[in-house]
Structure formats: structure tokens, C-alpha cells
């Protein structure tokens, strides 16, 4: 079993293949999946955020780091569910109608998943009047928030 700092480094550098490989090895060695998330992946993404704030990283680096984290989460998510761990909450996320890029949405979704939330991705071009999927609208205690468009920029 290799050093788990390699997982942090893979996420930090955006190496999805390495992140997945290290995660597979760690899980095979019996490492707690939640520890991989909380002790390695989330701190790595926090460092990515710090580097972004300091203008050391830009949106492309954010995206490839989030993609690396997501590659690991694909292996971990089923184990957390099978282990009886309940998500902190269920979150539906989408990009509002008229805004066809999903960069920010994907970053937020990856961070929420890493933080223990179940994320339901509604996709792009989501109308404020669209109906919620049953998995969101029928969840006890849920308070769905509808997407809204930002105010127009002054000209």
C-alpha cells in the first residue's frame, strides 16, 4: 500500500487516473472510504481553492482537480451507501435556463459530494418552472430552492 498522500497530490494536480488508482489500492487494503474523503480529498480541494484565490490556479485547474476527486468518489460512493452511511442531505443542482455552461455547477457538485451530500444533477438549461424529480420533491424535510436568473448587467 502506497502512501495516501499520493491521493491528495493526485487531486491537487488533477490526475484522475492516479487518484482512481490510489483509491482502488487504499480500498483494497481496507482503508475507511470516509477517511479517504475527509483526510485526503477534501483537504486537497481546499488547497485547490486556496491556490485559486491566490491566482496560482485558474478555472481549468479547478476543473481537472474536481474531475480527479470525482474519479475517486465514483469508487467510494457505493461503499458509503452499502455501509449504511446516510448522506448529510440530498441536494439538487442545475444550471439555470439560458446559461448553458456548467463549470461552476460541476465544481460545487464535486465539493458537495466530497462533503457527504447526495447530489442530484438536474443538468443545464433548467427552467425555474420545471418540476422537480420525485427523488427531490418527495424527500421528507426537504426545502427545494428553484433556480433563478441573475439580474441583467447594466449597459
Q: What is the pLDDT of residues 53-104, one digit of tens each?
A: 999 999 889 889 988 988 998 898 888 777 666 777 888 888 888 776 777 7
Which pTM value belongs to this model?
0.68
Query: What is the distance between the alpha carbons of residues 121 and 154, in angstroms, rounded to a whole number?
Result: 31
153, three cell numbers: 448587467
Whether CATH 3.40.350.10 fits 86-143: no
- Tens digits of residue pLDDT in 95-134: 888 776 777 787 777 777 767 788 888 888 887 766 666 6
Query: What is the distance between the alpha carbons of residues 65 and 16, in angstroms, rounded to a whole number?
Result: 8
Fold designation for 1-85: 1.10.1240
Query: What is the distance between the alpha carbons of residues 61 and 50, in angstroms, rounded to a whole number?
Result: 12
Query: What is the distance between the alpha carbons of residues 84 and 87, in angstroms, rounded to a whole number?
Result: 10
Within the chain, all domains assigned CATH 1.10.1240.10 are found at: 1-85
SS3 content of the chain, % helix, strand, coil (to 5): 55, 10, 35
- Cβ-based neighbours of 72, under 8 Å, separated by 6 or more: 7, 11, 19, 20, 22, 23, 36, 41
> Are 94 and 121 contacting, i.e. CB atoms less than 8 angstroms apart?
yes
Amino acid at each position: 500500500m502506497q502512501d495516501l498522500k499520493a491521493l491528495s497530490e493526485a487531486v491537487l494536480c488533477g490526475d484522475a487516473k492516479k487518484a482512481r488508482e490510489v483509491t482502488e489500492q487504499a480500498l483494497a487494503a481496507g482503508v475507511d472510504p470516509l477517511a479517504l474523503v475527509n483526510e485526503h480529498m477534501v483537504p486537497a480541494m481546499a488547497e485547490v481553492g486556496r491556490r485559486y484565490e491566490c491566482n496560482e490556479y485558474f478555472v481549468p485547474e479547478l476543473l481537472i482537480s474536481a474531475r480527479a476527486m470525482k474519479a475517486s468518489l465514483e469508487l467510494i460512493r457505493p461503499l458509503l451507501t452499502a455501509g449504511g452511511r446516510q448522506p448529510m442531505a440530498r441536494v439538487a443542482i442545475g444550471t439555470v435556463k439560458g446559461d448553458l455552461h456548467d463549470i461552476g455547477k460541476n465544481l460545487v457538485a464535486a465539493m458537495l459530494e466530497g462533503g457527504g451530500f447526495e447530489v442530484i444533477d438536474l443538468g443545464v438549461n433548467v427552467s425555474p418552472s420545471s418540476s422537480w424529480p420525485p427523488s427531490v420533491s418527495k424527500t421528507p424535510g426537504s426545502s427545494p430552492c428553484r433556480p433563478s436568473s441573475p439580474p441583467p448587467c447594466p449597459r
